[in-house]
């Protein structure tokens, strides 16, 4: 039986960065299913399985969320706070991927339950390498642990 691909939901409003991320995900050569939404309201709809995102075959529940902070409609802080108040939201890692290096933003993101905080890379290669590191860490953490059998 083939396992489902590792699914990442990317919440990003900048079209140029979405294109860069799409290319970077493809160039990793890894089996990753990537879903994109463009603002905090769409992220809430996707994560909640509402308003057009209820088909979990087309819009699978993510194994990881990568989210910008500064977005229209609802920002990343609001989405993070909403998501962490859901029972299932506590189990899915959230990585903040933003241009903000402000200490106050970093502290607030972690206090709201972010698992990691990354400043956006500036080149395609840096995006690709960051994705490989993130995938390597979180996909490995998701795999079931083998049973130890003692004789």
Supply the pLDDT for residue 3: 64
HEC readout, 80-112: HHHHHCCCHHHCCCEEEEECCCCHHHHHHHHHC
Provide mean pLDDT across the span 80-107. 90
* Region of residue 120 (left: phi > 0; alpha: psi -120 to 50; beta: else): beta
pLDDT tens-digit profile of 43-87?
Answer: 999 999 998 999 999 999 999 999 999 998 899 999 999 998 887
Comparing 28 with 18, which gets the higher pLDDT? 18
pLDDT tens-digit profile of 122-136?
Answer: 888 888 888 888 888
Hey, where are the domains in the chain?
6-142
Supply the pLDDT for residue 30: 80
Name the CATH code of domain 6-142 (choices 3.40.50.1370, 2.30.40.10, 2.10.260.10, 3.40.50.2300): 3.40.50.2300
The pLDDT confidence band at residue 141, using thresholds 50, 70 and 90, is low
- Does the pTM surpass 0.75? The reply is yes
Supply the pLDDT for residue 123: 84
* Phi, psi for residue 28 in degrees, rounded to 5: -70, -25
């Amino acid at each position: 039986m083939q396992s489902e691909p590792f699914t990442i939901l990317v919440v990003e409003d900048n079209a140029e960065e979405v294109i860069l991320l799409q290319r970077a995900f493809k160039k990793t050569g890894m089996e990753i299913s990537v879903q994109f939404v463009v603002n905090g309201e769409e992220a809430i709809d996707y994560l909640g399985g509402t308003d057009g995102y209820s088909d979990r075959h087309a819009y699978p529940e993510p194994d990881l969320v990568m989210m910008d902070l500064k977005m229209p409609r609802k920002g990343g802080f609001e989405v993070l706070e909403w998501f962490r108040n859901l029972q299932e939201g506590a189990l899915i890692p959230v990585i903040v991927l933003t241009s903000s290096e402000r200490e106050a933003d970093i502290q607030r993101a972690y206090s709201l339950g972010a698992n990691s905080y990354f400043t956006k890379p500036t080149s395609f290669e840096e995006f690709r390498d960051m994705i490989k590191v993130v995938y390597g860490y979180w996909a490995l953490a998701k795999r079931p642990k083998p049973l130890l059998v003692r004789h």
